[in-house]
Amino acid sequence: MADTIIATNVVKRYRALTAVDDVSLSVGHGEFFGILGPNGAGKTTLLEIIEGLRQADSGDVTVLGERVWPRNPKLLNKIGVQLQASAFFERLTAKEQLETFGALYGTSSQRITEMLEMVGLTDKAGTQAEKLSGGQAQRLSIACALIHDPEIVFLDEPSAALDPQARRNLWDVLRGINERGKTVVLTTHYMDEAESLCDRVAIMDNGNILQLGPPAELVRTLDAPVRISVEAGSLSVELARSIEGVEEVTGDKVSTVIATRRPAPVLAALAEADALEGLQVRGATLEDVFLDLTGREYRA
Amino acid sequence: MSELVGRKQQTDREQPQRTRGGGMKAFSSLSLAMLKGFYRDKLSVGFSVLFPLFFILIFGTVFAGDGGSAPKVVVVGQVQVIDSLPAEAKAALEEAVELVPGTTLDAALEQVRAGDVGGAVEQQGNTVILHFSSADATTAATVQGIFGAFVSQANIVASGSPPTFTLQTEQVEDQSLQPIQFIAPGMIAYGIAVGAVFGAAATLITWREKKLLRRLRLAPVSTATVVSSRVVVSVAIALVQLVLFVGVSTLPFLGLQLSGAAYMAVPLVIAGTLAFLAIGLLVGSVAKTVEGGSGLANLITLPMAFLSGAFIPLESAPAWMSTVAKFLPLTYLVEGLKDVLVRGEGPQAALLPILIMLVFAAVVTFIATRVFRWDAA
């Protein structure tokens, strides 16, 4: 089956800055795809080119087999977009926003009630968009993007500036959308978000895609050590260093951290020494992948 | 890739467009959204409705009392010319000015300077001296006129011969003409101008800032639908303003009397709204932030209101002002409204102003589309 989104050799320059530098990618039907990178990596520019909002200097983008530029009326009903800013009509309530967007697509009023319920804003239906909290506004803007039941949803930094609880709520909403068979493409600068939600991620920096693949695979190919931490004092640093396969031991007053690429024998040895108090095992994350790829610490 | 191929495909694809019903629904729902956005915004309602209404009420009531209160004039010492008047003539003089006896010249001059009285009069020999302050030009002119006429009359009486000429004055407008007749059309025009300029500019800027413009680009709705709903909403608001302002002005205590082809105010207001929307569109295209936009809109509407005669009559304005006024759409709305609302002119008086405002709207809209941007950046 053909890919839903195909971008080939996309380039976009703003004067001296190359925002998107020869990027190619494809997204499959029903896939949850993430574009991950720090601010200024070129994620939003790339996304807006794919949405058909911006013209690429060169390269080609097709969505559902259709060219996205110039504005293609055939695609408008099939894609839903949520832009970085809260693109609402001023002083309209949550329900009125959905009604207005719904009218643009000719959707039924039944759908509006459903959408409010889906994003958990039923009790905020009569609240003006300006008076919603950050998380509520983000969920409303996602509801507006989904009002016409599009096949593909584009979300630009949906969880930016949300508190952890609001982010978790939002993730549930996004997973729900994907489970209904929608293709979801989002940009994010949160590593954990990409890891938790996406089937595949493209790690972007300075307009380039550094690596692309399922998060687990990216982490695995990194071959980074696993960090095992136990309560400080459970075992001496010397003893820890003597365990086979241990690469590095660090510690402070709270815990002793053991780095290893072979966690199984190390854990067995720890169990034998009865030193599993406060055990935590942390594998490599996308942050480690980013560090490995760019040689610098990941800073959102 | 070749641009040509892309374009060809584009035209092929535009055929299965949305149904007409969907377009109407989009149009009416966008209009409703903008209307709600307007009346829920206290500031824009305040500036375009309450502010002009407030001015109509204040000026209408303050100036309405003006005709009744004669300026006070302090009579310093003995002014024989007045004292020796026959009772009838003295009564006539006292109807025009209120004579107050004063003691010293210095005290009287102080009162004139402070603006408490319109003037001070004294007599030295055969010379009647009138002291006035030019701070209040109208009162000064009134008092000078009255005393000038009074002294000439006294001279005629002194000469002993009957006057050769007599002057009878009659107003050409309705005898009951009140200042409201001049204030109301100006304020109506100003309120409509402010509403349309700010409405269009604010919509454009906030929608761009919040990326709503881009969001709408990705909805199956044409630019024409978005623009026409904004125009229809602005015209509707302007017509409500017209009805409201005229309605309030005709209340008995304000006393606006309509004379002329008043119904022509409707097409005048529609043409005017289009011209002001065009200005708002230009402001919205140029300005990057809401603050910048409203500053620029003020910078245009306020001087325009003064130069076009919405606040002060142009008849007494210097020549350069009348020249500048010829290039301002508000001038034509003010003049057109005065013609058909209070000057008793027929419908044809509105035709030229309407035409000029429509041409202005077309030209400025064209310029605005040249500088229009989808993005804030």
- A100–B29 CB contact, under 8 Å: yes
- Percent with pLDDT over 70 in chain B: 88
**A and B: number of Cβ contacts within 8 A:** 88
Task: Note whether B283 and B293 are within 8 A (CB).
Answer: yes
Which pLDDT value is given to residue B167? Answer: 65
Q: Residue B172: what pLDDT?
A: 55
Return d(Cα A261, Cα A285) in angstroms, integer.
14
pLDDT at B174 (0 to 100): 47
CA atoms within 13 A on the CB side of A68: 27
Query: Which position has the token pair 């954990």?
Result: A192
Cβ–Cβ contacts within 10 Å for residue B29, how many?
19
Q: What confidence tens digit (pLDDT) does each residue in B304-314 have?
A: 999 998 888 77
The arithmetic mean of pLDDT across residues A198-221, rounded, is 90
Mean pLDDT of chain A: 88
List chain A residues with CB under 8 Å of B13.
66, 72-74
Contact B2/A at CB under 8 A: no
Which chain B residues are within 8 Å of A88, Cβ to Cβ?
210, 212
Alpha-carbon distance A179 to nearest alpha carbon in chain B (angstroms): 24
Sorted by where each begins, the domain ranges of chain B are 27-63+179-371, 72-159
The verdict on a CB contact (< 8 Å) between A71 and B18 is: no
Cβ distance A71 to B217 less than 8 Å, yes or no, reads yes
Average pLDDT over residues A44-69: 92
Residue A106 falls in which region: left (phi positive, over 0), alpha (psi -120 to 50) or beta? left
Residues near B313 by beta carbon (within 8 Å), at least 6 away in sequence: B182
Give contacts of A70 with chain B, Cβ < 8 Å: 6-7, 10
Residue B20 confidence (pLDDT): 42
Q: How far apart are the C-alpha atoms of A122 and A113, rounded to whole Å?
A: 7
Give the closest residue to A192 by CA, choosing from A156, A222, A167.
A167
In whole angstroms, how far apart are CA B74 and each of B100, B102, B122? 5, 6, 9
- How high is the pLDDT of residue A57? 93
- Chain A hits for B214, Cβ within 8 Å: 53, 83, 87
Q: Which whole-number Å values give the CA distances from B275 to B26, B231, B362, in the listed order? A: 25, 11, 8
Of B34, B210, B219, the CB nearest to A76: B219
Q: Is pLDDT at A206 greater than 60 in this prediction?
A: yes
pLDDT of residue A33: 96
| Contact at CB, A104 and B220, closer than 8 angstroms | yes
CATH label, B72-159, candidates 1.20.58, 3.40.190, 1.10.3470, 2.60.120: 3.40.190
Q: List Cβ neighbours of B350 (8 Å cut-off, separation of 6 or more).
A: B261, B264, B265, B267, B268, B336, B339, B340
Answer yes or no: do A99 and B29 touch at CB < 8 A. yes
In DSSP terms, A257 is beta-bridged to: A229, A250
Alpha-carbon span B138 to B312, nearest angstrom = 14
Of A22-26, A65-69, A110-114, A236-240, minimum mean pLDDT range: A236-240
Q: What percent of chain A has pLDDT over 90?
A: 45
**Ordered per-residue pLDDT tens for chain B, 377 residues:** 333 333 333 333 333 344 444 578 899 999 999 999 989 988 888 888 888 888 888 887 776 654 446 778 888 888 887 777 777 777 777 777 888 888 888 888 888 888 888 888 888 888 888 888 877 777 778 888 888 887 887 787 777 777 677 666 555 554 445 678 888 999 999 999 999 999 899 889 999 988 899 899 889 988 889 989 999 999 999 999 999 999 999 988 888 888 889 999 999 999 999 999 999 999 999 998 889 999 999 999 999 999 998 888 777 788 888 889 999 999 999 999 999 999 889 999 999 999 999 999 999 999 998 888 877 65
Place of tokens 């966008």: B30
Domain A225-283 has CATH 3.30.70: yes
Q: Which DSSP string do the residues of A10-37 spell out, in sequence order?
A: EEEEETTEEEEEEEEEEE-TT-EEEEE-
Cα separation, A257 vs A280, whole angstroms:
9
How far apart are the C-alpha atoms of B239 and B305, rounded to whole Å? 19
Residue of A nearest to B22 (CA): A106
For the domain bounded by A5-214, which CATH number is listed?
Answer: 3.40.50.300
pTM of the complete model: 0.74
- What φ, ψ does residue B315 adopt, rounded to 5°? -55, -40
Burial of A180 (0-12, 13-18, 19+ CB in 10 A): exposed
Of A140-154, A201-215, A279-293, B6-20, the one with minimum mean pLDDT is B6-20
Has residue A90 got a pLDDT over 50? yes
What is residue B3's predicted lDDT score, i.e. its pLDDT? 38
CA–CA separation, B177 and B233 (whole Å): 35
pLDDT surpasses 90 at A46 = yes
Written as six digits, the tokens of A226 are 């696993």
pLDDT of amino acid B295: 93
pLDDT of residue B328: 94
Supply the pLDDT for residue A61: 94
Average pLDDT over residues A241-260: 86
pLDDT of residue B19: 41
A105 vs B358: CA distance, rounded Å: 34
pLDDT tens track for A260-298: 888 888 888 888 888 888 888 888 788 778 877 877 766
Domain-by-domain residue ranges, chain A?
5-214, 225-283
Mutate to test the interface with A, among B9, B211, B223, B230 (most CBs of A within 10 A): B211
Residue numbers in A near B210 (CB within 8 A): 85-88
pLDDT digits (tens, 9 = 90+) for B155-210: 877 777 776 776 665 555 544 456 788 889 999 999 999 999 998 998 899 999 88
What's the confidence (pLDDT) of residue A170?
Answer: 87
